[in-house]
């Protein structure tokens, strides 16, 4: 419930303060983090003959992903401090446990299932070829850029996105709606945001929504983001490996 009193640890004492974060904060974090990522890629752009800014190589995507991830974590930390219990773990469930690393395999399996589920739509709309911007840029990456790209996609993005979508957003929805509704709505928003950020990924929308539902269920059942982070990382890892192997 909005405004419900929640315990906050302060030294040896525990006090009760109202939780004041909610859906508007999730929207604000996404907007600001998106703007930060756009600013981060400005040095990588060049103007073509038509006067349009063009970005080449994967460096700008690394910068965008890294900037967006850092901004998301920093903003969520600020919201937890100013409007919550002062902890990313207590407020949004951000924790990574080594014993949950086996859930990487679940993420890989989910990616395989997602590929099979999305392929008919890809065949219908894109002639069997994906046009996702991240995929295209990863195919052209080499050396250090490729390594940093892989880190951003497999580590930075899953942590930041789970914190925002299954932490701040999902928990805000749970304070308003029943769990099944909150799970589905958060998953649809998760998928839609990815398509907004990269219109070429629209054939993958059903798979992204399915991933969002799975991770929201895990976050709800466990009370933390650990398993959902590993599933998300495994989901992205298979995509990176598949592209590198081409």
Sequence ranges of the domains in the chain: 5-244
Which distant-in-sequence residues (6+ apart) come within 8 Å of 79 by Cβ? Answer: 21, 25, 29, 91, 168
Assign residue 131 a region (left: φ > 0; alpha: ψ between -120 and 50; beta: otherwise). alpha
C-alpha span between 67 and 76 (Å, rounded): 14
Helices (H) and strands (E) in the chain, counts: 11, 4
* Per-residue DSSP letter, 168: I
pTM confidence score: 0.86
Q: Which residue has the tokens 């951003």?
A: 152
Give the per-residue pLDDT at 184. Answer: 98
Mean pLDDT per 10-residue segment, the chain (246 residues): 40 56 97 96 81 75 94 98 96 97 96 78 51 59 81 95 98 96 98 87 86 98 98 91 72
Task: Give the pLDDT score at 106.
Answer: 96
Which of 177, 120, 222 lies closest to 231 in space, CA to CA? 222
Position 5 scores a pLDDT of 38
Tally of CB atoms within 10 A around 52: 9
């Amino acid at each position: 419930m909005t405004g419900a009193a929640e315990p906050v640890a302060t030294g040896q004492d525990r006090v009760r303060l109202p939780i004041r974060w909610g859906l508007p904060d999730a929207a604000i974090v996404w907007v600001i983090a998106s703007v930060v990522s756009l600013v981060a890629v400005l040095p990588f752009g060049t103007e073509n003959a038509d006067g349009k800014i063009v970005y080449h190589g994967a460096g700008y995507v690394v910068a965008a992903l890294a900037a967006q991830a850092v901004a998301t974590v920093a903003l969520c930390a600020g919201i937890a401090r100013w409007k919550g219990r002062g902890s990313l773990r207590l407020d949004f469930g951000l924790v990574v446990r080594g014993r949950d690393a086996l859930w990487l395999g679940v993420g890989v399996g989910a990616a395989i299932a997602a590929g099979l589920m999305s392929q008919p739509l890809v065949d219908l709309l894109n002639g069997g070829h994906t046009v996702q911007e991240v995929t295209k840029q990863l195919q052209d990456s080499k050396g250090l850029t490729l390594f940093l790209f892989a880190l951003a996609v497999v580590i930075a993005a899953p942590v930041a996105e789970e914190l925002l979508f299954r932490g701040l957003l999902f928990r805000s929805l749970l304070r308003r709606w029943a769990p099944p509704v909150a799970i589905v709505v958060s998953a649809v928003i998760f998928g839609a945001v990815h398509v907004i950020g990269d219109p070429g990924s629209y054939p993958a929308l059903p798979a992204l929504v399915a991933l969002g539902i799975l991770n929201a269920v895990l976050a709800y059942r466990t009370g933390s983001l650990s398993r959902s982070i590993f599933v998300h990382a495994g989901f992205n890892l298979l995509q990176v490996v598949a592209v590198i192997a081409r």
